[in-house]
Amino acid sequence: MDIIKTLIKFTLIGMVSAIVVLYFTQDESTLGGNTSINFNEVSVDDAKELAASSRQSQQITASYSDAVKATSPAVVNIHTTKVVAQQRPRLFDDPMFKHFFGEGRPSIPRKKLETSLGSGVIISNKGYIITNNHVIEGADEIQIALQDGRSIRARIIGTDPDSDIAVLHINAQNLPAITLGQSEAIEIGDVALAIGNPFGVGQTVTMGIVSATGRDRLGLSLFENFIQTDAAINPGNSGGALINAFGHLIGINTAIVTRSGGSQGIGFAIPIDNAKNIAEEIIQFGHVVRGWIGIEIQNISAQLAESFGLKDTNGVLIAGVLKQGPADKAGLRPSDIILAVNDITVIDGKHAINMIAQSKPGTSVKLTLQRNGKIVKSQVITSERPQIQNSRN
């Protein structure tokens, strides 16, 4: 009996030992990395389903109500009125008419009121409003309609026809001021919302994207640097706000390209950095202070480039020099060709004017000229650019 118990005891010990050895042998092979690792990953089918779901969610239109709610109270409607003389009918000056009815009394021109609509943006709770110059140009009376129902008469602080910017002021309390964005942060493809008063129907919001930046040479104003957008801009939107998805002002809606008179998806806005700088100078000085050197310029055509021996049509020809002006004092002459301003190659006349205008009066502008086939360097001390239209109070 004792022998049997001893055999069973050793058999059990052997079995346990074998199990232990097998266990540790398997564990060591696992630590050696000889088996595959199970990653936590989705299947191919699940990945395709998630990708499709993601694309579908991106196509769902997001709401910009928060941005509009924060911004729209600062966008105002502008109603202008001006008195114009109504000319007498041309029939009265017809010789046949005079033959039968005589000269009669000279008619006194009758006067009539002309009204127009536009938009503006409150940029300060102190009552300053920015809009387009063409919205209020020639107006005898300007009324500002606020979103809260108030109607307040405005006065013109100053205008800048060269950039189509004007600044107005109203005396009122509790005015909502818009938050200004940064032009440098604008990228093509960004969401853009236009807020204004198209056709006088009341405040309206339209949506699009930023189609392009830095648009110029459009013939809309002397100094051009526009944001292009396909957000619908119509008559009455001028001077209104172009905002981003966060409700920040990024531009002042100014013009459209159209064949029908309505929006065709090509609208232009003045970038907020430009508009803000102009508004600050108007508020401080009553007008915008720009550099000027007193020259008349002409773009370089292909024929002129060939006759002057130029490689391309870059640069501008000085066609005239104002006597005793800054350019005259610096020795510039008619027929000189300006190739560069402050070492920046001149593309055309507008480009040259813009670069010179950016230099404050009293500062030196470095010009690279071609004179009689030779390269000449010149320094010109700028004066203040003459004002086309004086500010009004």
CA-based nearest residue to 225, from 341, 349, 351, 385: 351
Q: What is the mean pLDDT of each run of 10 residues along the chain (393 residues)?
A: 49 49 44 36 36 45 85 94 70 60 59 83 94 93 93 95 94 92 89 91 92 81 86 90 92 82 82 92 90 92 88 91 93 92 90 88 93 92 75 34
> Parallel, antiparallel, or unpaired for β 267-271 and 291-292?
unpaired
Provide the whole-model pTM. 0.71
Q: Please identify which of the residues 134, 169, 248, 287 carries the catalytic annotation.
A: 134
Contact (Cβ atoms closer than 8 angstroms) between residue 131 and residue 239: yes
Q: How far apart are CA 130 and CA 252, in angstroms?
A: 8
Q: Please identify which of the residues 160, 164, 230, 336 carries the catalytic annotation.
A: 164
pLDDT at 89: 61
Fold classification of 183-285 (topology level): Thrombin, subunit H (2.40.10)
Q: How far apart are CA 171 and CA 179, in angstroms?
A: 20
Any idea what the Cα angle at residue 260 is, between residues 259 and 261, rounded to 5°?
100
- CA dihedral sign, ordered 97, 101, 103, 107: negative
Q: 383: which 2 tokens?
A: 């004066």
Q: How far apart are CA 349 and CA 379, in angstroms?
A: 19
Reading phi first (left if > 0) and then psi (alpha if -120 to 50, else beta), residue 331 is in left
134 noted as active-site residue: yes
Contact (Cβ atoms closer than 8 angstroms) between residue 135 and residue 118: yes
Q: How far apart are CA 312 and CA 295, in angstroms?
A: 22
Q: How far apart are CA 181 and CA 227, in angstroms?
A: 14
Q: Please identify which of the residues 119, 211, 238, 359 carries the catalytic annotation.
A: 238
Q: How far apart are CA 78 and CA 85, in angstroms?
A: 23
CATH no., domain 291-384: 2.30.42.10
CB count within 10 Å of CB 353 equals: 23
CA-based nearest residue to 256, from 225, 289, 275, 234: 234
Contact (Cβ atoms closer than 8 angstroms) between residue 173 and residue 146: no
Q: How far apart are CA 235 and CA 196, in angstroms?
A: 10
Q: 137: which 2 tokens?
A: 């140009």
> Three-class SS of residue 222?
coil
pLDDT at 38: 37
- Per the listing, tokens 């104003």 go with 221
Amino acid at 52: A
Cα-Cα-Cα-Cα dihedral of 191, 196, 198, 200, to 10°?
A: 160
Among the four given CATH numbers 2.40.10.10, 1.10.240.10, 1.10.4190.10, 3.90.1150.10, the one describing domain 67-169? 2.40.10.10
- Per the listing, tokens 């005079």 go with 98
> Parallel, antiparallel, or unpaired for β 291-292 and 241-243?
unpaired
DSSP of 56-113: HHHHSPPP-HHHHHHHGGGEEEEEEEEEEEEPPPGGGG-HHHHHHH---SPPPPEEEE
pLDDT at 103: 59
> Start-end ranges of CATH 2.30.42.10 in the chain?
291-384
> Start-end ranges of CATH 2.40.10.10 in the chain?
67-169, 183-285
CA-based nearest residue to 365, from 351, 348, 377: 377
DSSP assignment letter at 200: G
Q: 28: which 2 tokens?
A: 């060591």
Q: How far apart are CA 164 and CA 388, in angstroms?
A: 12
Alpha carbon distances (Å) from 99 to 89, 106, 206, 226: 16, 15, 59, 57
